[in-house]
Chains A and B, each alone.
Chain A
């Protein structure tokens, strides 16, 4: 069998990205009677539990720039972000009518309230506000989180008509461990040769992971890495940047493309963190829920939406990300009205200033159309790094 090239792989990922009727998930569900689909919002849910129930986890990250929000605006005041409006639009327009359950992770008040609204609007859909610990001691936050996971496991078992076994959970953890290994490999590959794995392509591949069964996504990543390594692409004199603040409402694809066009190689980001929230393999022996809880407490990403109990540690994850990825600067790109990203930004910028790392900031909405100002900001930032850093 001939190996697909990057263009073919990216075209498949792009088709999944553009499909706001989620045809791929609908086909997966209709292929076998009794299958169920569980939607989830940013930034993290333990997809292993959904997978172990024989269900498809489906990432819902709003409607992007292709969805006209007609009904969604009526549910929210004007001074909040766009992702809850477009998610409601997806719901009331019937685009999510095949989804059997929705998980709303603990990220901000808006998403928390959306979980309640979903219960009222779609009473026949299993809806759950998925809370996470604010305390990172195993005997406090760990026990609390394991209990949350147990409740989710029981609820999904009930929804699916059969309890989720420990063996099924262990097998799912192994499947996601493999997926995360490939994701890490792709991110490491981009750090080493960012011109070989453009930011927009990496993003589309990660987005595909929100729609495809994990086994198919792992295969897609493996194919892409092989195809990318097989062809040498032109290397530009771009600066290397970390993009942060993009963990919930997604930037338009054109914004990601514009950053690279403006002379910035994106070498790390916090886009679609669910695909790499856990930074190390989860143990596949012993109690699977305790293993997932321990991984969350001790081996998970840091982001503005995650509580950091140590004030001196605030922002250091970003400094480390810059060092690890050999970046030369940071771009703070945050959705308008995003409380977690914008409230944390000054503290993160303070940490960067302390480490002598340059940064630039701007805001966007998922449907932003005018990229020229962003290109100019990112481009002049790239110029300043290339010409004047260290002077």
Chain B
């Protein structure tokens, strides 16, 4: 049986969509799309993203058996089912890196640590508190103050020779720290690396709190492609007693939530067919 399924991850900073074909247990990733939200309506963007993946894969909407949403996508009017972020990031991480037994989802607003088994079943979960100092939005703000582009952050961080650590407790205090550093003539490389270390410190503590101390952790979410942050995470892991986990990223890590949603959608579709309760897309 062939199942065509879409996954739409409505994040705080961007909307991601993927289209998958699942046939006899084999999965084929047909297409993908990302749109930054930038103060636009995320639900409208979800529609645009969905249309884009359909067009790219040359698949009609009626051919899609299950549209699964995740993140803040509960209100997407054409969804068949919704799955929560920890559920989808765990499944997406296993798809991208089968060795992973934990996912570290670092998005624009939150950091989430999730441990899972080999099937993608969530075993433990914890997320950062409401303060934004461990989030991508904070990093984006600092980059803007320093006048550097987001895709330069990782490279600059890797060039640091004497990083200045900022407050890991509060985004407001951290921003004050950064202003002081600029006035003291600290280089952008060392500032950015300091921020990465500060964020990494919080995120590694999250991993430890869910007992993800060993094995492979896949970084997911929008910040997974920030090589400077991934380096900082591994440095912090090495420095923390009892932590030997290896943190990796995958080129498609930002799509982990959408991928997980699509794969769970395919699974649910098959179960609904088995039970004679096929959910019909709106």
Residues of A participating in the B interface, judged by any CB pair closer than 8 Å: 234-238, 261-263, 375-376, 379-380, 383, 386-388
Contacts and interface: CB of A to CB of B under 8 A. Distances in A.
A191 B264 CA distance: 26
Interface string B99-139: 00000000000000000000001100000000000000000
A376 B66 CA distance: 22
Contacts of B267: 387
Contacts of A375: 74
Contacts of A387: 87, 121, 264, 267-268
Interface string B198-231: 0000000000000000000000000000000000
Given A261-B74, A383-B87, A388-B121, A236 B79 contact: yes
B84 A379 contact: yes
Interface string B79-107: 11111101100000000000000000000
Nearest to B271: A386
Given A383-B84, A386-B268, 16 more contacts: A234-B77, A234-B280, A235-B279, A236-B80, A236-B81, A236-B82, A237-B268, A261-B75, A263-B83, A375-B74, A376-B84, A379-B82, A380-B84, A383-B87, A386-B83, A387-B267
B74 A262 contact: yes
A9 to B, nearest CB: 22
A268 to B, nearest CB: 19
Count chain B CB atoms within 10 A of each CB in A237, A379, A387 and give the residue with the most: A237
Interface in B36-93: 66, 74-75, 77, 79-84, 86-87
A380 B279 contact: no
Chain B interface mostly helix, strand, loop or mixed? mixed
Contacts of B279: 235-237
B81 A238 contact: yes
Contacts of A234: 77, 280-282
Interface residues of B, number: 22
Contacts of A261: 74-75
A263 B75 CA distance: 11
B148 interface: no
B6 to A, nearest CB: 13
A261 to B, nearest CB: 5
Given A235-B280, A237-B66, A383 B83 contact: yes
B172 interface: no
Contacts of B79: 236
A383 B268 CA distance: 10
B182 interface: no
B272 interface: yes
16 contacts: A234-B77, A235-B280, A236-B79, A236-B82, A236-B279, A237-B66, A237-B80, A237-B81, A261-B75, A262-B82, A375-B74, A379-B84, A380-B122, A383-B83, A386-B81, A388-B121
A386 B87 CA distance: 11
A383 B88 CA distance: 10
A95 B267 CA distance: 54
Contacts of A380: 84, 86-87, 122
A277 to B, nearest CB: 33
B84 A237 contact: no
A193 to B, nearest CB: 12
A17 to B, nearest CB: 22
A387 B119 CA distance: 11
B127 to A, nearest CB: 9
Contacts of A263: 74, 81-83
A196 to B, nearest CB: 13
Contacts of B281: 234
A134 B77 CA distance: 49
Nearest to A387: B264
A181 to B, nearest CB: 29
A235 B264 CA distance: 18
Nearest to A261: B74
A211 B58 CA distance: 55
Nearest to B269: A237
A234 B79 CA distance: 9
Contacts of B264: 387
Contacts of B268: 237, 386-387
B94 to A, nearest CB: 13
Contacts of B272: 237
A384 to B, nearest CB: 8
Nearest to B279: A237
A238 B80 CA distance: 9
A236 B264 CA distance: 14
A380 B264 CA distance: 13
A263 to B, nearest CB: 5
